[in-house]
Every structure is written in structure tokens, then in C-alpha cells.
């Protein structure tokens, strides 16, 4: 026989507040049954769904994303992968934070290299917003590209491309010079082999490029923009 619970009883059973249950009801995450007198009534079958919501919320998934994930098992798996990627990146950032604090505390005040540490912080994304919808989208884009790179068979020429771009910039070449056009063509070919016709990968690459626009030197950015438009 299925047990039923009034809202106060169910809140106590689940270890949440009545206010939380009311909120999940309002946003459509966990809709209780209603009696003829319009009282909220929960059943045993509501508990596993509530537990899913609580776990995903603890993992940093927004209520909007939780709603979508509970309707789609595939979306849930994607979100779990993205949250794991984000957690690993956050752990790396914490490690870097401890390193920077050690560097600052171990160096005399007059010898602290703030410029070098600022550059390091910028590379790690220390000045970006770590919360919100845009951050979640960026986490997912980074994960998608990371997974693609793991399965992608890069060539020696691919690894040499970054070096050749730096050398072209040092020589004063631009994407409009003959040498620069050759670099753009190589980068365009690399992008095509990386993302193919996968619009999801392309969108992820564009999002990552936009997020790093402020931390990417303009000459290199000019090459990458030109290559992406041609790919």
C-alpha cells in the first residue's frame, strides 16, 4: 500500500524545508497531488525524484537544467559529464590558488611578481564570472571540445602550427600577407578536421573563442578568426 504524506510530513521525511517543497511545486520540479480540499499530498514515489533534485542541486546544476534533465536521460548524462569537467577545473583552480598564495607569502613584499601572477590568473580565467548561465554553457563547450580532442588523431604538423603562428607574428606577417594566408589555410584545415560538419562542435569552439577574446593577443586572434570563417 502506498503511503501518503502531508507537506510537513514529507519535508521531515526528506530532510528539507516546507518552503523548499513549495518552491519546487511552483517551478514545476516536484508537483504534489492535491486533495479535494486542495491540500498538497506526497507519495512514496515522489521521494526518489526529490532526492535526484537535491543531489543535482548540490552538484551545482541550476533548477532550470534539472527540469530538463529529469525529462531526458540523455540530457542528464550530458549534465553529469559537464559538472564533472567543471569540478575538475575548479579543483585545478584551487591548486593554482594555493600555489599563488605560497608564491606571495614566501617572497618579500618588494620582490613579489604581481605582473607574472596576473598573467597566470588570466590564463586560468580568474577574472571571469564563475557562475551563471554563461559559465555553465562555457563549461559544457570546453568539455565537448576536450572530449573531441582526446579522440582526435593530431599530426606533428598540428603541434607545429602554434609555433609557426608565433613565428609569423614575430616576423610581422598578418593574415593578408602570403605567408599569413598559408598559416590561415593550415589552421582552417585543422579546424575542419577537428569539428567536421558537427554544428555542436562548431558552436562550442565559437563560444570558447569568444570567452577567451579578452585573454588572446590580437594578432593571434586575427589568424584564428580568419581560419574559423573559412572553415
Tens of each residue's pLDDT in the chain, 231 residues: 678 899 999 999 999 999 999 999 999 999 999 988 888 999 999 999 999 999 999 998 889 999 999 999 998 998 898 888 888 877 877 877 787 788 788 878 877 777 777 766 665 554 444 456 677 788 888 888 888 887 878 788 887 888 888 888 889 898 999 999 999 999 889 888 888 888 888 888 877 777 665 554 567 778 888 888 887
Cα distance between residue 136 and residue 127, in whole Å: 16
Provide the grid cell at 78.
Answer: 550530458
The answer to whether 145 and 205 have CB atoms below 8 angstroms apart is: yes
pLDDT value, residue 26? 94
Instruction: Collapse the DSSP code of 64 into the 3-class scheme (helix H, G, I; strand E, B; otherwise coil) and give the result.
Output: helix
* Contact assessment for residue 14 and residue 24, using Cβ atoms and an 8 Å cutoff: no
- H helices present in the chain, as ranges: 7-14, 18-26, 46-58, 63-71, 73-106, 114-123, 132-151, 156-171, 178-195, 199-211, 218-230
Q: Read off the pLDDT of residues 190-213 as tens digits, 9 standing for 90 and up.
A: 888 888 888 888 888 877 777 665
Whose cell is 504534489? That residue is 32
Answer whether 139's CB lies under 8 Å from 85's CB.
yes
Three-class DSSP category at 154 = coil
CB 13 within 8 A of CB 53: no
Sheet holding 40-43, edge to edge: 4-6, 40-43, 33-34
Q: Could you tell me if 43 and 4 are in contact, meaning their C-beta atoms sit under 8 angstroms apart?
A: yes
Q: Do residues 125 and 90 make contact, with C-beta atoms less than 8 angstroms apart? A: no
For 135-157, write each residue's pLDDT tens digit.
Answer: 778 888 888 888 888 787 878 88
Candidates 13, 131, 14, 133; CA nearest to 68 is 133
Neighbour tally for 33: CB within 10 Å: 11
Half-sphere exposure in the Cβ direction for 56 (13 Å, CA) = 25
User: Which residues are registered as beta bridge partners of 41?
Assistant: 6, 33
What domains lie within the chain, and their CATH numbers?
4-58 (1.10.1660.10), 61-127 (no CATH), 131-231 (no CATH)
Dihedral in degrees, nearest 10, Cα atoms 143, 145, 151, 155: -140
Amino acid at each position: 500500500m502506498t503511503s501518503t504524506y502531508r507537506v510537513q510530513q514529507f519535508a521531515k521525511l526528506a530532510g528539507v524545508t516546507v518552503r523548499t517543497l513549495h518552491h519546487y511545486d511552483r517551478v514545476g520540479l516536484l508537483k504534489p497531488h492535491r486533495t479535494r480540499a486542495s491540500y498538497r499530498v506526497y507519495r512514496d514515489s515522489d521521494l526518489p525524484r526529490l532526492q535526484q533534485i537535491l543531489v543535482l542541486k548540490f552538484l551545482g546544476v541550476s533548477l532550470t537544467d534539472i527540469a530538463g534533465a529529469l525529462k531526458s536521460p540523455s540530457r542528464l548524462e550530458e549534465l553529469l559529464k559537464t559538472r564533472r569537467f567543471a569540478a575538475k577545473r575548479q579543483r585545478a583552480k584551487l591548486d593554482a590558488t594555493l600555489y599563488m598564495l605560497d608564491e606571495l607569502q614566501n617572497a618579500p613584499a618588494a620582490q613579489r611578481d604581481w605582473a607574472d601572477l596576473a598573467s597566470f590568473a588570466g590564463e586560468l580565467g580568474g577574472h571571469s564570472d564563475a557562475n551563471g548561465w554563461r559559465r555553465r554553457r562555457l563549461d559544457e563547450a570546453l568539455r565537448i571540445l576536450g572530449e573531441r580532442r582526446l579522440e582526435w588523431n593530431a599530426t606533428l604538423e598540428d603541434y607545429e602550427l602554434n609555433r609557426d603562428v608565433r613565428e609569423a607574428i614575430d616576423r610581422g606577417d598578418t593574415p593578408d600577407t602570403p605567408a599569413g594566408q598559408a598559416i590561415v589555410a593550415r589552421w582552417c584545415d585543422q579546424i575542419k578536421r577537428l569539428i567536421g560538419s558537427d554544428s555542436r562542435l562548431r558552436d562550442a569552439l565559437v563560444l570558447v573563442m569568444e570567452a577567451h577574446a579578452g585573454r588572446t593577443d590580437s594578432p593571434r586572434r586575427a589568424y584564428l578568426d580568419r581560419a574559423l570563417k573559412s572553415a
